[in-house]
């Protein structure tokens, strides 16, 4: 099967979160199963710098809003599948990140930047590379959401389109003023199309036009059909529930496994945990923490209420009662940052905080932790808890989305299956209760090592997820139009 992934991020070249990891690892896993998976992404400076010198220029010129983009085909350094790069310097050659400028503000032309990516993906799906007519185009998140719209309004034969919602909170909604620049027919600007509350909704367009929809866990697939999690799109998602599949993300164990991880001071595995103790000592040194009898909790996350880091900041005030420690790596909400800085300043031997993000340090933190905190209010899938289990760091999570699907709580009735700690209420008190339970188990080494061994033995590799996506690609399912499905 020829599978074209369209994405705005790709590890190790451009990453702001888990989307980059998924975009790289899923395609690589599909290639390992014998399929011809490829990827199309914007020509950011980092991407063009990694593109092989012998890249081929396709004849197709993609045009959006008066901008012209070339499509280059070639190998990307560090990427395990062939790539198509949309070369449009006016839209992509600039300092800053993929979405924000150097001062942290959204680029004013993001609508055009990602309309260009969507249009190029659609051009490729329709045969821009004569040597590679895709069977499936698989778009990821709002940034490629217009691709199914372009395909639906094409008169040419088109491949099956599948779109993955990685996080419904990011929808790509823009003013209606941009619609005339997109190159879509006038009748696309309606509720049964790209229109969304008077503007243009990129993700909404994908939810309407794509042949099949996926999201990144079974629980999240159910949650987003409710008013509590649907963020205004729950009605459309309920109308397409027959086309919506939840597939838990996998882990690239070539990158996230303590047996092969080059970032660790000493590698280790489930049969020899000495390297984990070395990592814990290194982590304490890095964060300026002293010795302690209780567990070392870590959190590596965006510092936002959605991620529950405000709960951590408040619960951390009680760490002393069970002689535990906390190390946090992240950046985000200024209020949460201020709370963590104050805690670290007040009790530096117990709380350590590094502001920002450091990929190498994130690996050492997973290895050195006793418990990894993922107290999210909402979490479509989550990768952190999956990494934690492989590193023997028991995840402590809130029961939501993919966290609910992947972590089994240490409780009397589930002790023989337990892999971590789960709490329900998004409050500092509930989080602190789960942390106390973790500290109590930590004082029972035999039980702790049993749960730790079970967590490390879990296999969340990409092969299983890749096979489930292949099933989605192959299943034509209900062939009525989206409007017919919704009205029924």
| DSSP secondary structure string for all residues of 58-111 | EEEEEEETTEEEEEEEE-BTT-SS-EEEEE-HHHH-SSS-SSB-TTSPBPTTHH
Band of pLDDT at residue 478, cut at 50, 70 and 90 = very low
CATH code of the domain in which 343 resides = 3.40.50.2000
Query: 73 pairs with which residues across the strands?
Result: 56, 84
**Tally of domains in the chain:** 2
Residue 470 and residue 454 in one domain? no
pLDDT digits (tens, 9 = 90+) for 306-325: 999 999 999 999 999 999 99
- Cα Rg of the chain, angstroms: 23
Query: Is the same domain home to 327 and 217?
Result: no
Average pLDDT, the chain: 94
* pLDDT score of 475: 82
User: Could you tell me if residue 77 is inside a domain?
Assistant: yes
262 part of a folded domain: no
- Asked if residue 401 is part of any domain, the answer here is yes
Q: How far apart are the first and last CA of the chain?
A: 32
Residue 439 sits in the same domain as residue 401: yes
Which of 240-249, 285-294, 476-485 is the least confident region?
Answer: 476-485
256 in any annotated domain: no
Residues 51 and 159 in one domain: yes
pLDDT at 484 over 80: no
pLDDT higher than 70, residue 281: yes
190 domain-assigned: yes
State whether 320 and 348 are in the same domain.
yes
Same domain for 230 and 137, yes or no, is: yes
d(CA 73, CA 295): 50
State whether 153 and 286 are in the same domain: no
Return the pLDDT at 373. Answer: 98
Range of the domain at 334: 274-459
Q: How many Å apart are CA 151 and CA 16, to the nearest integer?
A: 28
The verdict on 451 and 471 lying in the same domain is no
402-456 pLDDT, tens digit each: 999 999 999 988 989 999 999 999 999 999 999 999 999 999 999 999 999 999 9
Q: Say whether both 88 and 147 belong to one domain.
A: yes
Are 246 and 342 within one domain?
Answer: no
Give mean pLDDT, residues 476-481: 43
pLDDT at 353 over 80: yes
Q: Which one, of 281, 485, 470, 461, lies nearest residue 389 by Cα?
A: 461
Give the DSSP letter of residue 256.
S
Mean pLDDT across 368-386: 96
Position 477 in a domain: yes
Segment 170-175 shows an average pLDDT of 97
Q: Is the pLDDT of residue 343 over 80?
A: yes
Residue 265 lies in a domain: no
Give CA separation, 393 vs 248, 300, 364, in Å.
Answer: 20, 13, 11
Residues 22, 164 within the same domain:
yes
Residue 268 lies in a domain: no
- Contact between 168 and 224 under an 8 Å Cβ cutoff? The reply is yes
pLDDT exceeds cutoff 80 at 481 = no
pLDDT tier for residue 66 given thresholds of 50, 70 and 90? very high
Q: Could you give the 3-state DSSP secondary structure of residue 270?
A: coil
Assess whether pLDDT exceeds 60 at residue 480.
no
User: Residue 412: what pLDDT?
Assistant: 83
The answer on 209 and 172 residing in a single domain is yes
Q: What is the pLDDT of residue 295?
A: 98
DSSP assignment of 170-238 equals ---EE-GGGGGGS---GGGSSTTTTEETTEEEHHHHHHHH-SEEEES-HHHHHHTTSTTTSTT-HHHHH
Local confidence band at 104 (pLDDT 50, 70, 90 cut-offs): confident
Residue % of the chain over a pLDDT of 70: 97
pLDDT attached to residue 17: 82
């Amino acid at each position: 099967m020829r599978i074209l992934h369209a994405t705005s991020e790709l590890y190790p070249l451009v990453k702001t979160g888990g989307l980059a990891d998924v975009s790289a690892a899923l395609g690589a896993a599909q290639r390992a199963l014998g399929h011809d998976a490829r990827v199309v992404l914007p020509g950011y400076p980092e991407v063009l710098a990694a593109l092989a010198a012998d890249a081929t220029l396709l004849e197709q010129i993609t045009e959006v809003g008066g901008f012209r983009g070339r499509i280059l085909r070639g190998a990307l350094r560090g990427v395990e599948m062939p790539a198509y790069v949309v070369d449009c310097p006016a839209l992509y050659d600039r300092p800053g990140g993929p979405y924000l400028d150097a001062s942290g503000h959204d680029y004013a032309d993001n609508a055009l930047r990602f309309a260009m990516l969507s249009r190029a993906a659609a051009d490729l799906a329709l045969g821009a590379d004569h040597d590679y007519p895709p069977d499936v185009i698989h778009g990821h998140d709002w940034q490629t959401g217009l691709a199914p719209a372009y395909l639906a309004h094409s008169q040419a034969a088109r491949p099956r389109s599948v779109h993955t919602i990685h996080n419904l909170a990011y929808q790509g909604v823009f003013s209606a003023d941009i619609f005339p620049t997109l190159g879509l027919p006038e009748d696309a600007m309606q509720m049964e199309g790209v229109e969304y509350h008077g503007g243009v909704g990129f993700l909404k367009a994908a939810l309407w036009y794509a042949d099949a929809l996926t999201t990144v866990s079974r629980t999240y697939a159910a949650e987003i059909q409710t008013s509590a999690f649907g963020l205004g799109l729950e009605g459309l998602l309920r109308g397409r529930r027959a086309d919506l599949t939840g597939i838990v993300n996998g882990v690239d164990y070539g990158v996230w496994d303590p047996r092969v991880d080059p970032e660790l001071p000493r590698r280790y595995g489930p049969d020899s945990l000495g390297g984990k103790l070395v990592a814990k000592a290194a982590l304490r040194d890095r964060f300026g923490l002293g010795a302690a009898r209780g567990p070392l909790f870590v959190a590596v996350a965006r510092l936002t209420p959605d991620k529950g880091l405000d709960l951590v900041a408040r619960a951390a005030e009680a760490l002393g009662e069970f002689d535990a420690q906390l190390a946090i790596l992240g950046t985000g909400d200024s209020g949460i940052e201020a709370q963590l800085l104050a805690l670290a300043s007040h009790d530096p031997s117990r709380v350590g905080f590094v502001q920002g993000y450091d990929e190498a340090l994130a690996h050492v933190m997973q290895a050195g932790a006793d418990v990894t905190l993922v107290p999210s209010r909402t979490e479509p899938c989550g990768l952190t808890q999956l990494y934690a289990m492989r590193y023997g760091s028991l995840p402590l999570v809130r029961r939501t989305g993919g966290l609910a699907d992947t972590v089994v709580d240490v409780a009397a009735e589930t002790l023989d299956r337990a892999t971590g700690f789960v709490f329900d209420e998004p409050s500092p008190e509930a989080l602190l209760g789960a942390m106390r339970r973790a500290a109590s188990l930590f004082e029972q080494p035999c039980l702790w090592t049993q749960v730790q061994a079970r967590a490390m033995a879990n296999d969340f590799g990409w092969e299983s997820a890749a096979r489930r996506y292949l099933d989605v690609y192959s299943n034509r399912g209900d062939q009525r139009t989206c409007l017919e499905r919704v009205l029924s």
